[in-house]
Amino acid sequence: MTVAWGPLLAAYVVLVGLPTGLTLMTWWVGRSGASVRLERIGAWGALVALVAISVLLVADLGRPERFHLMLVRFDNLASPISWGAKLIALKILLLLLVVHAVERRRPPDRPLPRLTKVVAVLLLAVSFALALYPAALLARSWASPLAGGAGVLFVLTALLMGAAVVVLLGGEGRTALLGLLAASAVALAVEALALAGRPGDRLLLAELTTGGSAPLFWGVAVGAGLLLPAAGLLTLPRNRVVTALCAVAVLAGAAATRYLLFAVGS
């Protein structure tokens, strides 16, 4: 069978967690008293990441000059990519708006609080949709058999990535990170049990846990991504260096998990 999607798409599936998680986590951390610095970096970070990822997506097209077809065609609403492209464009537009607002030097005249709220909620909604999106996208592909049922994992890893960046930026993300790590561990276990229960999928599980992907899975996704940071954050909660290292490990682990969801079985 031909492998339709290669490294660029893998990079996309991995990286798209970043802007999504960033937006969601800056909101979460800022619920009770946001910091300007965090919101600013969050908005800029998400925007830059999203634009970079869009470039990846366009570059992956065999006919990049025709990228616009994904935005202007509404014939096929069953297509996840059709939705995804439009959501990414919408999120970029919303982020532009936010960036514009956070960069404002003088306090705004005639503020519209209700509009602000609507935009903020829309941004969260779009981000959440984009967090689920890789699962929807890959569910249609026989080449990534693991990904289709892994919506929860995609959301959790995106949030982990976002939280890790927030922590790295000095935000108060430690508790969130710990909670997410716990949730991820549970989700991984549930997923593994589900795979073990289906005869066809048992091979995939074996590939993951004992096969060629095992080093990446145990070493990076589980070891570096879950166990190490959980241990670090719990035992040395005040140590900045340790916290930062834990955040980096979480980033690597989440990326590995996402990559494995994309690649195993293809």
Partner 1 sequence: MSTWTLTRRDLLRAAAVAGVGAAGLGGIEVVHRMTTEPRAAGKTVGAVRRVASMCQMCTTACGIIANVKDGRLLTIEGNPADPNSRGAVCAKGVAGPSILYDPSRLLYPLRRVGRRGEGRWRRITWDEAYTEIADRLRAIRESGRPEEFAFQQGRNRSTDIVARFLDAFGTPSAFNHRALCSLNRRAAILTTIGDSDWDLGDYENSRYILNFGSNWAEAHQGHIPVATRMMRARERGAKIVTFDARLSNTAALSDEWYAVRPGTDGLIALAISNVICQEGLWDREWFDRWTNYPAEKYAEHVRAYTPEMAQAESGVPAEAIRRIAREFAGATPRCTTICNRGSAAHRNGFHNDRAITVLNALVGNMGEEGGWCWHPMSAWDKKALPEPGPIAPKPTARSLIAEAKDWPLANAWQSNKMRVGEIVYLWIKQRRQRISALMTYNCDQAWAWPEANLVREVLADEDLVPFHVCLDVMASETSNLADIILPWTTYLERWDIDSRPPQGLVDYVGLRQPVVPPLGESKDLREIFPELARRIGGGMEHYFPWATQEEYFEQYFAPVPGGFGHMREAGVHVDPAKKPNYLPYEKELTAEELEGTRTEDGVIHGPDGAIGVMVDGTARRGFGTPSRKVEVHSQFVNDRGREADRTISPLPVYEPIPGHREQLAQGRLIMISFKWNVHNAHRTLQSKWLQEISHTNPAWLNPATASGLGLAHGDWIEVTSYRPIDPEVPRGDGSQLGSLRTRVHLTEGIHPQVIAIAHNAGRTTGGPVASNGRDRAVLVGHEPPDHGRVWWAGSLSVAQNDILPIYPDPVSGQQAYHDTMVTVRRIEGGA
Partner 2 sequence: MARLGMLIDLRTCIGCHACSVACKAEFDVPLGNFRDTVKYVEEGAYPKVTRHFIPVLCNHCEDAPCLSACPTGAVVRLDDGQVTIEDGDCNLNRACMAACPYDAIYVDEDRGAAAKCTFCDHRTAEGRQPACVDACPTNCRVFGDLDDPESEIAVRAAANDVTVWKESAGTRPKVLYVDPKNALPLIEEQGVQVDTTADLSGEPA
**Residues sharing a CB contact under 8 Å with residue 76, sequence separation 6 or more, in sequence order:** 82
3 binds partner 1 (CB under 8 A): no
**Residues sharing a CB contact under 8 Å with residue 243, sequence separation 6 or more, in sequence order:** 167, 174, 232, 233, 236, 237
CB atoms under 10 Å from CB of 42, counted, come to 29
- Report the residue number, 75 or 109, with the smaller CB distance to partner 2: 75
5 binds partner 2 (CB under 8 A): yes
Cα gap 70→68, rounded to integer Å: 5
Interacting stretch for partner 1, rule CB under 8 A, among 11-19, 88-96, 146-154, 249-257?
Answer: 88-96
Cα gap 152→205, rounded to integer Å: 17
**Residues 149 and 194: beta-carbon distance below 8 Å:** yes
Interacting stretch for partner 2, rule CB under 8 A, among 60-68, 115-123, 124-132, 188-196?
Answer: 60-68
- Name residues contacting partner 2, limited to 8-37 (CB under 8 A): none
4, 55, 61, 96: which one binds partner 1 (CB under 8 A): 96
Give, in order, the Cα–Cα distances in Å from 169 to each of 14, 89, 107, 163: 21, 26, 25, 10
62 binds partner 1 (CB under 8 A): no
120 binds partner 1 (CB under 8 A): yes
Tell which residue, 109, 112, 100, 80, has the closest CA to residue 40: 100
- Name residues contacting partner 2, limited to 78-117 (CB under 8 A): 78-82, 84-85
55, 59, 61, 115: which one binds partner 2 (CB under 8 A): 61
- Name residues contacting partner 1, limited to 5-34 (CB under 8 A): 27, 30-31, 33-34
**Residues sharing a CB contact under 8 Å with residue 255, sequence separation 6 or more, in sequence order:** 14, 15, 17, 157, 161
Residue 199 interacts, among partner 1, partner 2, none and using kind-specific CB cut-offs from 5 to 8 Å, with none
Print the binding letters for residues 32-51 with partner 1: x by CB under 8 A, - otherwise: -xxxx--x------------
- Report the residue number, 35 or 141, with the smaller CB distance to partner 2: 141
Q: Give the footprint of partner 1 on this chain (CB under 8 A).
A: 27, 30-31, 33-36, 39, 66, 68-69, 71-72, 89, 93, 96-98, 100-102, 104, 108-113, 115-116, 119-120
